[in-house]
């Protein structure tokens, strides 16, 4: 498969990011910090952001995603924008979902940006203002002078004509519609070689500055229909008659997708978000902004992006294809490594890397589109479905099995979340597709026996992702489900199932607390599951689960908050039970001997018994760290930090303070600079207080 050089240029420009700049040796050894945000100094101010200059002319329209805290943008209120010097900027907000009080939770914004020179930055402040009539600008003149042609093998598809038909259709609901931008999705089933599973999905944005953006995805994701399968083709995109992208795809596997973002005109500025506001809004963990990120790591990301392989369709872009592989991986955590670096620094290299991996998520064969229902496949229409080959014929299994030569092996226990943050920060619908498809796979990709029987009495029956699962598999599945439920548009066809499924799972876990507490005794607070080592419990998997529970609690789940409060006893107690006979250093050991099993039948009930069994099994650190030769102390610190943030636990604060000063492996500032993946701290507890940034 190949993409032309013109296609490579369109890819980089389409992201709206700056070209990669060379870095000298001195810069490589430096630390990159977040730039200070503008001060919020007027009544009604909500959040600030920075525009990274691209050299685009004044008035260029940039679109991006923005999360809002509950109450910050009430229903009926308008949104206004200004530069730090007070100059007003036109802004458009299309609200996609809302908090329970009716205020905006997530919106796709369009901003008429000022001219910002390449390498320069401009501060922008978003505020509440008087609601104005937000009529869509007249797109007719723009559509008349622009053309979008997609050549698929010997077919020539006039996308602008299809767009006009879609906009004119009665009841049409544009994704964006206002004075600055109108965005519409055009879905075109295509017939290539008799394969019925391929569709062309185009998100076209018409901008009031006279330019347009096209995001084209070739999605071979149609499921449960005759004629599905792999297909080869050539595709070329012409914008105003000029080639913007061309690719030859010899074999496009079913259940996978690839896409490119292209535009006319100059690249628009990159929006740098305020990570502190995102954490306060419940969208992300609280990453530490005071350590910064090693420039060498960002340089490595830049080199990966600059390689010719990066731009090829179906390239994994650093995501491990053998998904079940363990070890310290940069793609697994509450976020990915490049997403964490993006939040901590706002650096374009991290942004481009994270966005590129979100595009690469399309190549993972977990995309199952239900054409008849018009949404991703779920248990409403397919209660018995198991996408594993052992699912058998439909409705128990897929009509066409996942090919064995996709290059990917799927594992819920090691699934990365590649799409959630890029969706929130860019507002690109393709990333919402990726997030929702993965969330649905978290259920229908699981063996139906432990997930339960739909319709059977009991919470989460038919959609249970915790019962009998590896704890890390439960954690990452719940992370994906919860994020998708929280971030999906209120009116999206997949959203109701995502919200019901996420809520049902957290309610089920909460209902198990009395039984698990009785079984676990003094040391209660750990989630039972399959561990692979008989009788042993990896505490770091509890840290994974705690991160998922904290995310759901921040996003408003009372059940997840109750689960996290229950877990406090174990998460903090493992570092505070020295007088009860459990060495605190063992709180971050790789394994603890607790006689654990999936049903929590006969575990050890006291810290003293667990401590003795851990020593007897040669699993103990003693007063050193020989059994913590990995990122296990980092994992413990991040889970304690999130417990403190969500619940205010004093015990968690004591445990966090002890472990922060214990000199455990990989917990020094330089470790977090080299790998920011788990660089999460409690509110008001930065690692380098002298570097706390003030607004400007």
Phi-psi map region of 217: left, alpha, beta (phi>0 left; psi -120 to 50 alpha): beta
Kindly report the three-state secondary structure assignment for every residue of 55-102: CCCCCCEEEEEEECCCCCCCCCCEEEEEECCCCEECEEEEEEEECCCC
User: For 40-68, b where at least 16 C-beta lie within 10 A, e where not — what string?
Assistant: beeeebbbbbbbbbbebeebbbbbbbbbb
CA distances from 461 to 258, 392, 537, 685 (A): 34, 21, 26, 41
Q: Do the beta carbons of residue 514 and residue 472 sit within 8 Å?
A: no
Q: Is 122 helix (H, G, I), strand (E, B) or coil?
A: strand
Nearest to 551 by CA among 659, 429, 435, 638: 638
Answer yes or no: are the C-beta atoms of 509 and 559 closer than 8 Å. Answer: yes
* 405 contacts: CB under 8 Å, gap ≥ 6: 253
Q: Which residue has the tokens 């810069």?
A: 27
pTM of the model: 0.95
Question: Whole-angstrom Cα distance, residue 297 to residue 301?
Answer: 6
| pLDDT attached to residue 596 | 60
Cα–Cα distances in Å, from 7 out to 313, 524, 689? 11, 56, 45
Distance separating alpha carbons of residues 558 and 54, to the nearest angstrom: 44
593: tokens are: 């001997």
DSSP conformation class of 405: T
Whether residue 4 has a cis bond before it, omega within 30° of 0? no
Q: Tell me 642's DSSP state.
A: H
Chain-centroid distance, C-alpha 286: 15
Residues contacting 466, CB < 8 A, separation 6+: 460, 474, 478, 505, 508, 509, 527, 529
Q: Is residue 529 within 8 Å of 582, Cβ to Cβ?
A: no
Closest C-alpha to 400, from 191, 219, 221: 221
Instruction: Give 195's strand partners.
Output: 192
Architecture of domain 366-401+410-665: Alpha/alpha barrel (1.50)
Nearest to 583 by CA among 639, 529, 664: 664
DSSP-assigned letter for residue 392: -
Of 479, 501, 514, 459, residue with least CA distance to 335: 479
Name beta bridge partners: 31.
294
What is the spatial distance between Cα 276 and Cα 363, in angstroms, rounded to a whole number? 32
Is residue 676 within 8 A of residue 341, CB to CB? The reply is yes
What's the pLDDT score for residue 298?
98
CB-CB neighbours of 308 under 10 Å:
11
Q: Rounded CA gap, 256 and 231, in Å? A: 11
Sign for the CA dihedral angle at 621, 623, 626, 632 comes to positive
Q: Do 484 and 498 meet the contact criterion of CB atoms below 8 Å apart?
A: yes
Positive or negative, the CA dihedral 364, 369, 375, 376 is negative
**Domain map (residue ranges) of the chain:** 2-11+137-263, 13-134, 366-401+410-665
Q: Tokens representing 243? A: 């080639």
Q: In the beta sheet, which residues pair with residue 666?
A: none
Q: Which SS3 state, helix, strand or coil, does residue 43 take?
A: coil
Q: Which two tokens stand for residue 278?
A: 């995102």
Q: What is the DSSP string of 495-520?
A: HHHHHHHHHHHHHHHHHHHHHHHHHH
Partners of residue 176 on adjacent β-strands: 183
* Owner of token pair 């400007």: 696
Q: How far is CA 383 from CA 390, 435, 436, 452, in A?
A: 16, 21, 18, 10
What token pair was written down for 13?
Answer: 């420009």
Look at residue 16 in the predicted model and tell me its pLDDT.
39
Could you give the CA distance from residue 421 to residue 377 in angstroms, rounded to a whole number?
Answer: 23
Q: What is the mean pLDDT of each run of 10 residues along the chain (696 residues)?
A: 44 39 50 96 96 95 98 96 95 97 98 94 96 84 97 96 94 93 95 94 98 98 96 98 97 98 96 98 98 97 96 96 88 96 97 98 98 96 95 96 95 96 98 98 96 88 95 97 98 98 98 96 94 86 98 98 98 97 97 74 91 95 95 97 97 98 97 97 96 91
**HSE, side-chain direction, 13 A CA sphere, residue 591:** 17
Burial degree of 530 (CB within 10 A; 0-12, 13-18, 19+): middle
- The tokens describing 179, both together, are 């004075």
Cis peptide before 395 (omega within 30 of 0): yes
Q: Which residues are CB-contacts of 179 (< 8 A; sequence separation ≥ 6)?
A: 90, 92, 134, 135, 136, 137, 208
Q: Any bridge partners for residue 369, and if so which?
A: 222, 376
Positive or negative: CA dihedral 151, 156, 158, 162 = negative
- How many other C-beta atoms lie within 10 A of the C-beta of residue 369? 25
In terms of Cβ atoms closer than 10 Å to its own Cβ (0-12, 13-18, 19+), residue 693 is middle
For residue 48, the cross-strand partners are 125
601 exposure class (CB count in 10 Å sphere: 0-12, 13-18, 19+): exposed
- Burial (0-12, 13-18, 19+ Cβ within 10 Å), 101: exposed
Helices and strands in the chain, H and E counts: 19, 24
Residue 287 phi/psi, 5-degree rounding, is -75, 145
């Amino acid at each position: 498969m190949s993409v032309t050089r013109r296609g490579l240029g369109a890819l980089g420009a389409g992201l709206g990011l700056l070209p990669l700049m060379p870095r000298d040796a001195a810069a490589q050894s430096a630390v990159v910090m977040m730039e200070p945000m503008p001060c919020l100094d007027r009544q009604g101010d909500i959040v600030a952001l920075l525009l990274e200059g691209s050299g685009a002319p004044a008035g260029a329209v940039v679109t991006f995603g923005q999360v809002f805290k509950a109450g910050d943008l009430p229903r009926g209120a308008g949104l206004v924008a200004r530069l730090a010097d007070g100059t007003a900027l036109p802004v458009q907000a299309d609200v996609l979902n809302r908090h329970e009080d009716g205020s905006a939770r997530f919106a796709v914004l369009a901003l008429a940006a000022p001219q910002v020179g390449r390498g320069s930055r401009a501060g922008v402040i978003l505020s509440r203002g008087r609601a104005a009539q937000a009529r869509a600008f007249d797109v007719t003149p723009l559509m008349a002078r622009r053309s979008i042609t997609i050549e698929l093998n010997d077919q020539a598809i006039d996308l602008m004509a299809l767009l006009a038909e879609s906009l004119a259709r009665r009841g049409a609901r544009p994704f964006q519609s206002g004075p600055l931008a109108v965005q519409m999705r055009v879905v075109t089933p295509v017939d290539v070689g008799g394969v019925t599973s391929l569709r062309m999905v185009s998100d076209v944005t018409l901008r009031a500055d006279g330019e347009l953006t096209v995001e084209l995805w070739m999605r071979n994701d149609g499921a449960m229909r005759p004629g599905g399968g792999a297909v080869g083709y050539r595709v070329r995109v012409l914008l105003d008659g000029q080639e913007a992208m061309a690719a030859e795809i010899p074999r496009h596997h079913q259940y996978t997708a690839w896409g490119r973002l292209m535009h006319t005109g100059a690249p628009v500025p990159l929006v740098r978000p305020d990570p502190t506001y995102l954490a306060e809004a419940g969208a992300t963990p609280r990453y530490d902004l005071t350590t910064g990120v090693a420039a060498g790591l960002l340089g490595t990301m830049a080199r990966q992006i600059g390689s010719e392989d990066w731009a090829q369709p179906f390239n994994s872009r650093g995501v491990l294809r053998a998904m079940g592989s363990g070890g310290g991986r940069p793609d697994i955590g509450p976020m990915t490594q490049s997403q964490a670096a993006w939040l901590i620094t706002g650096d374009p290299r991290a942004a481009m890397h994270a966005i590129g991996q979100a595009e690469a998520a399309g190549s993972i064969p977990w995309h199952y589109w239900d054409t008849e229902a018009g949404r991703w496949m779920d248990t409403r229409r397919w209660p018995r479905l198991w996408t594993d080959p052992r699912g058998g014929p439909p409705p128990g299994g897929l009509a066409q099995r996942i090919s064995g030569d996709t290059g990917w092996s799927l594992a819920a226990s090691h699934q990365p979340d590649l799409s959630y943050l890029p969706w929130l920060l860019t507002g690109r619908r393709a990333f919402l597709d990726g997030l929702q498809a993965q969330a649905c796979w978290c259920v229908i990709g699981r063996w139906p026996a432990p997930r339960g029987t739909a319709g059977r009495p009991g919470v989460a029956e038919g959609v249970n992702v915790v019962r009998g699962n590896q704890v890390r598999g439960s954690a990452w599945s719940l992370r994906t489900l919860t994020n998708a439920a929280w971030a999906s548009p209120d009116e999206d066809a997949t959203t109701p199932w995502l919200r019901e499924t996420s809520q049902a799972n957290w309610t089920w876990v909460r209902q198990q607390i009395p039984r698990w507490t009785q079984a676990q005794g003094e040391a209660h607070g750990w989630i039972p599951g399959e561990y692979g080592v008989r009788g042993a419990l990896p505490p770091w998997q509890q840290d994974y689960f705690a991160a998922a529970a904290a995310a759901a609690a921040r996003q408003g789940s009372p059940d997840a908050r109750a689960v996290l409060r229950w877990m406090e006893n174990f998460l903090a107690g493992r570092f505070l039970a020295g007088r009860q006979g459990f060495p605190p250093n063992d709180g971050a050991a790789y394994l603890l001997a607790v006689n654990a099993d999936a049903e929590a039948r006969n575990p050890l009930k006291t810290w003293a018994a667990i401590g003795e069994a851990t020593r007897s099994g040669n699993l103990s650190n003693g007063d050193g760290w020989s059994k913590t030769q990995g990122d296990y102390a980092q994992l413990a610190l991040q889970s304690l930090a999130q417990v403190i943030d969500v619940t205010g636990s004093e015990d968690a604060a004591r445990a966090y303070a002890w472990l922060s000063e214990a000199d455990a492996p990989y917990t020094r500032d330089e470790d977090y600079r080299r790998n920011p993946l788990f660089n999460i701290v409690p509110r008001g507890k930065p690692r380098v207080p002298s570097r706390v940034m003030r607004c400007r």
